[in-house]
Each structure stands twice: as structure tokens, then as C-alpha cells.
A and B are shown apart, each in its own frame.
Chain A
Amino acid sequence: MTGSWWPVAAIVAVVLATAAVGTLGVRSRTTSDFLVASRSVTPFLNASAIGGEYLSAASFLGIAGLVLTYGVDMLWFPVGYTVGYLVLLVLVAAPLRRSGAYTLPDFAEMRFGSPRLRLLSSVLVVLIGWLYLLPQLQGAGITLRVLTGAPLWVGAVVVAVVVSVTVAAGGMRSITVVQAFQYWLKLAAISLPAILLVGAWHRDGAPVFADGGWGTPLSGFGGREYPLYSTYSIVLATFLGTMGLPHVLVRFYTNPDGRAARRTTLAVLGLLSVFYLFPPVFGALGRVYTPELAGTSAADTVVLLLPGRVFGGWVGQALSSLVAAGAFAAFLSTASGLSVSVAGVLTQDVIRRESRFGGVALRFRLSTAIAVAVPLVLALVAGRTDLAQTVTLAFAVAASTFCPLLVLGIWWPRLTAQGAIASLIVGGGSALVAVVAVLTFGPFTGLGGALLDQPAAWTVPLAFLTAIVVSLRTRDRDPRAVAAALTRLHSPEELEPRH
């Protein structure tokens, strides 16, 4: 692969297109423009943008790599990423929009009226955002290395710089158009090669995939211990974590009302379902054509390498360029969405209004630089783990913190600010301990290793339990204020004229 300029040209085209569309939106000036595109985005455009933002390095590259190495159990990642949206639709989509808040800390303040809870939420949004940005930057690094032989840091720096410039220039309004475009680019870039690869595989006489448990659920293929526990932990993290991802949440505020929020989410389910049919194809055909990648740190590159391996000549070149462009669209869109969210929270809660940093535009730009710089440094110093695995750790933290906060906060009037704070500390703390252990000392073996690698199965119940027990033992502020907050979350728009 090394030395071909086609994929590099494709990446440059994606980067330039992103930067161009991004800077067209330079007219963003108010807080509302920067953070939520002034809430004027139609459901279909918004759904495409959500799809574009959500399909990250983990979806585009990571799933195929994991399927290649560990087999059919890894299909729980795409299934979970999709069901996570269904759970979000059912439990939080409309009430969250009706809360009228810009960010998750805004929601926490609106529901609980507690500055401490708001601050804690802000810290967690930033931590989850950074954890999720890390694999995007790493993915960019390995992609550029595979395609050009460039050192790992080059791709990470390119994505960080493009994202900072685009986000700082335009904020949410321009990002929406960019991300909607990037969904369709990613779908084309994964589906067309996948369909052609299946055709080529048939032409070759449909050689069987190496098996030995690879195609059998719960076989522990690839040396995975405790497959049932890991499977359920992935299920819990992805089903319940999606709603707590900062870049997912901020998108709901761009819907005009709660009902539109539901329609948008339904459209997202369709868009994700179509996309996720394709990445496993690369993992499966990789067992036939690139089996040497399985179990190595290069497994994440199977999507990039397979088209060139199967097709020679200009077809292989063109398809390789297409997947490279799709991969960069994935890094850029997810990283942009995360940066907007993290920068939004930093702007509102860290670099305060009364500070000496001037107007909202300047504060937002400063926040963007911080939001991108920290994960960039982490990406440059941290060791490599599987992309989808790192992303799932971010899901686990989100599921152990914001899932109880949102679900109980929206549906259970007895949840108190103290209960929510205790739950964030206990759930988030235990999940973060596992994450830090895995990222610095992992991978581990044995039962303890499984518990740390996939912490959600114990941290999520722990977080819910803490929230409920502490809430039942504490009294909240004015119960009428709680009733008022819940009324606002659940009342249809017709009854409440709002802005």
C-alpha cells in the first residue's frame, strides 16, 4: 500500500471539503449559534448529521477489526450502538429536548437546581469527551501510517488541527451540514467496497472462512475469557451509554420540539441500521483474504487494506481511496461533534462569562483549543488498544453516570440532587478506575481482567443502586419545583408556548 498517492488525495479532498463547508458558517456569533445551530435544523438533515457524527473510528474501522479477530460475538458492538439509540428514543429523546437546555450540565441544573451537580456533570462530560476523542485521533494516526508510512502522530495532528479550525470558526451551525454530508460519504465508502468484495468472493468460489469457533456465539474465540460476561457488559454499556455521550446529547437541542426529536431519532435508527450491515463484511472476508492481520494491532486496518488486497489495478486503488476518505470522514465528524460538546461545556462552566477572555466567540475558540489539545497529547503518549474497545470504555463511563442521571431524573420524582451526585461519583469513579487501569496497565487476564476490561456490567447497576438508595434517604429541595421541572420535561408543546 505504501507509496500510493490516490488515498492521500482522497483524504486531502475530504479534509479540504470539511474545512471549506466549515468556514462558510463563520457567521455564527451567538451562544445559540455556536452550541446548537439556533435550533433550526430539519429532522432529516439533523438525522444525517447525527448519523455522521455517531459513526466514528470505532464503527468504520474498529468493528471489522474486532470481528476479524474475535468473531461473531463482536457483532454486539454494532447491535449495541444501534439499540443504544432506540433506548435513547424511548427514555430520553423528547423530554430532553423539552428540558430546553443547551448541554447536559444545563439539564442537571434545570432538574435539580444544584450547582455542585452541575459542576460534576461538566467534569464528566469533558472526561467522556476526551476519552472518546482519543481513539478518533489514534485511528487517524494508524490510517495515515498504513496508507503512506507516515509516523503515527501525523494523522492525529492533522485531525486535531482541522477539527479545531472548523469548530472554532463555525460552531454547531456549520458542523451540522458537514456531518450530514459525512454520513452519506461514510455509507458510500463502506457499502460500495463491501458489495464489490462479496461479489469478488463469490467469483473466487466462495471460500469458507476459517472457523474453529469464530462463527459460533460465546465460543471465546481469539482467546476471550468469560465470553458471556463480556457480551452482557458490552450490551449494558452500549444500550445504556449512548444516551450519556456528550456529542449525542447536544444534538437533541437542535430539534425544534420534542416530537421532532422523536422523529429525528427514528430516522437515525434507520440510517445506523443500514450502515452497520457492512463493517462486519470486512471482518468476515478478512478471515479469507487477510488472516495475518487477526489478533495483531493492525486488525483495525482491515477495512483499509482489504480492497487493495482483493482487487488489483485501478479498481483496488479507487476503492482504497474511497475507504480512506470514509475513515477520515469518520474521524473528522466524530471529533468535531465531541469538540463542540466539550468546548460548549468548557465555555459555559469553566471559562466563565465574567472572565477577562472577552466575548462568547473568543471564549468558545479558546475552549475548542483546550478540548482538542488534551486528547491529542494523550493520543501521542498512550499505548494502543483496539479502537472499538476504547470507545466502549467511554460508553461504559457514560452508562455508569449520565444514564442513571437522565433516566431517573426524567421519570422518577424522588431522585434527589444528593442521590444524583452520589451516583455520579460512585458509578463514574468505579468506571473511570477501570478505564485508567486498562489504558495504562492492560490488557489483563482472568476474572478480574474481564471485570476491568468491560466494567459496565457491575458499574451501571452500582450507579443506579446508589442513586436510588441515597435518594430514598435524603429530602430534596421544594417538591413543587421538582414537579414543575417534570411538567416541563413531559408536557407536549401545544400546552406550553415556549421559545
Chain B
Amino acid sequence: MSATTPPSDRARREVITHPRTAAARSTAHRRGVRRDVTEQTELGITLMRSLRRAQLRLALVVGIVIAVVVGGIPLMFLAVPAVRDARVSGLSLGWVVLGVLVFPLICLTGWLYVRAADRGEAEFVDLVERS
């Protein structure tokens, strides 16, 4: 049915329905989805690639934030001796940051990531189911 639709935004939505066609379904419950997917159209693969790239972008954003914020701490200590020697109620700043503060930051980052990743997948599923 998608073959006759003109190449527009609408056409793209039509193509997404392919995995729900009878042919795809008949193989979907076999062991492994490999065969199901290898029988998919180029456009089906393109679609999955777009989801993969969106998730990769998200992962890279989080990865870069970790690398800069957490991975940058030693460089900051090296570059700014005042920060390295600073004291917070008797403890050096290094203790406060590495012993305590970094942990809530890690958890918050993880929580934000899981929310964003789940939302990205839910939107993708919505898009496919709706079409």
C-alpha cells in the first residue's frame, strides 16, 4: 500500500507501518528477529537507523557532559591552585567534591538520561503504531 503513496511526509509515515504487515508478522515470532529484519525494506532499516542515531546523540551528550564535568576535575585542580588548596570547614575542596558532591551529580545525570531515552523510544513506537 505504501508503494503508491507519493514521496512526501505522508509517504514516510506509510512506510513505517511495514513491520506490522502480515508478511512481517508471520516471521516475527520465530526465534530471533534477525530473519524478520533482513527481510525488511531499505526504508525499514533507514527508520531504525534514525532511532539509533537519535539514541547515540543522547548518549554522546551525556558522555561529553561526564567527560567535561567529572573528567575535568583533575585538570581544574592542576590549573587553579586556589581551587586545589581551598578548604570547606576544614576539609579540602577535593574531599568535598570527590567524596560527596559528585555522587548526587552522577545519579541526577543517570535519571535525566533514562527519562530522555525512554521518551525517545516511546515517541518512536508511537510514530510507528499510529501510522
List A contacts of B37 (CB < 8 A): 483-484, 487-488
**Could you give, for residues 52-78 of chain B, a 1 whenever the CB lies within 8 Å of some chain A CB and a 0 otherwise?**
100110110011001000110010011
Contact A280 B19 (CB under 8 A): no
Contact A492 B98 (CB under 8 A): no
**Could you give, for residues 76-110 of chain A, a 1 whenever the CB lies within 8 Å of some chain B CB and a 0 otherwise?**
10010011011101110010000010000000000
Contact B66 A83 (CB under 8 A): yes
Determine, out of A214-222, A287-295, A351-359, A423-431, the stretch whose residues face the partner at the interface.
A214-222
- How many pairs of A and B residues are in contact by the CB < 8 Å rule? 150
Alpha-carbon distance A231/B29, docked complex (angstroms)? 50
Contact B111 A266 (CB under 8 A): yes
**Could you give, for residues 53-85 of chain A, a 1 whenever the CB lies within 8 Å of some chain B CB and a 0 otherwise?**
000000000000000000010011001001101
In the assembled complex, A494 has its CB within 8 A of some CB on chain B: yes
List B contacts of A487 (CB < 8 A): 33, 37, 40, 45, 48
Give 11 A-B contacts (CB < 8 Å), ordered by A residue: A75-B99, A217-B98, A218-B74, A231-B74, A270-B107, A273-B107, A483-B45, A484-B33, A487-B33, A490-B48, A498-B33
- Nearest to A496 among chain B residues (CB) is B33
In the assembled complex, A30 has its CB within 8 A of some CB on chain B: no
Q: Which 10 A-B pairs have the closest CB atoms?
A: A75-B98, A273-B103, A484-B37, A217-B94, A215-B92, A217-B77, A492-B121, A72-B94, A487-B48, A487-B37
Alpha-carbon distance A217/B109, docked complex (angstroms)? 24
From A215, A262, A411, contact of B117 by CB (8 A): A262
**Could you give, for residues 284-303 of chain A, a 1 whenever the CB lies within 8 Å of some chain B CB and a 0 otherwise?**
10000000000000000000
From A90, A259, A284, A492, contact of B113 by CB (8 A): A90
List A contacts of B62 (CB < 8 A): 86, 90
Contact A83 B48 (CB under 8 A): no
Given A79-B102, A263-B114: A216 touches B125 (CB 8 Å cut-off): no
Alpha-carbon distance A450/B95, docked complex (angstroms)? 24
Please give the distance in Å from B19's CB to the nearest CB on chain A: 6
Interface residues of B in 96-111 (CB under 8 A from A): 98-100, 102-104, 106-107, 109-111
From A485, A490, A497, contact of B28 by CB (8 A): A497
Given A277-B99, A487-B37: A411 touches B56 (CB 8 Å cut-off): yes
Please give the distance in Å from A482's CB to the nearest CB on chain B: 10
From A72, A83, A85, A484, contact of B38 by CB (8 A): A484
Instruction: List B residues at the A interface (Cβ < 8 Å).
Output: 19, 28-29, 31-38, 40, 45, 48-49, 51-52, 55-56, 58-59, 62-63, 66, 70-71, 74, 77-78, 84-85, 90-92, 94-95, 98-100, 102-104, 106-107, 109-111, 113-114, 117-118, 121-122, 124-125, 128-129
- Nearest to B117 among chain A residues (CB) is A262
Contact B45 A280 (CB under 8 A): no
From A72, A208, A265, A484, contact of B110 by CB (8 A): A265
In the assembled complex, A495 has its CB within 8 A of some CB on chain B: yes
For chain A, what secondary structure do more than half of its interface residues adopt (helix, strand, loop), or is it mixed?
helix
Contact A492 B125 (CB under 8 A): yes
Alpha-carbon distance A137/B122, docked complex (angstroms)? 45
Given A484-B38, A495-B128: A215 touches B107 (CB 8 Å cut-off): no
Contact A480 B125 (CB under 8 A): no
List A contacts of B56 (CB < 8 A): 411
Contact B34 A89 (CB under 8 A): no
- Nearest to B108 among chain A residues (CB) is A269
In the assembled complex, A486 has its CB within 8 A of some CB on chain B: yes
List A contacts of B34 (CB < 8 A): 481, 484-485, 488
Please give the distance in Å from A274's CB to the nearest CB on chain B: 8
Given A90-B113, A228-B74, A262-B114: A277 touches B33 (CB 8 Å cut-off): no
Alpha-carbon distance A169/B33, docked complex (angstroms)? 34
List A contacts of B48 (CB < 8 A): 483, 486-487, 490-491
Contact B92 A490 (CB under 8 A): no
In the assembled complex, A393 has its CB within 8 A of some CB on chain B: no
From A75, A87, A217, A491, contact of B63 by CB (8 A): A87
List B contacts of A490 (CB < 8 A): 48, 51-52, 55
Contact B103 A82 (CB under 8 A): yes
Most chain A CB atoms below 10 A, which of B32, B71, B99, B128: B99
Contact B94 A216 (CB under 8 A): yes
Please give the distance in Å from A230's CB to the nearest CB on chain B: 10
In the assembled complex, A237 has its CB within 8 A of some CB on chain B: no
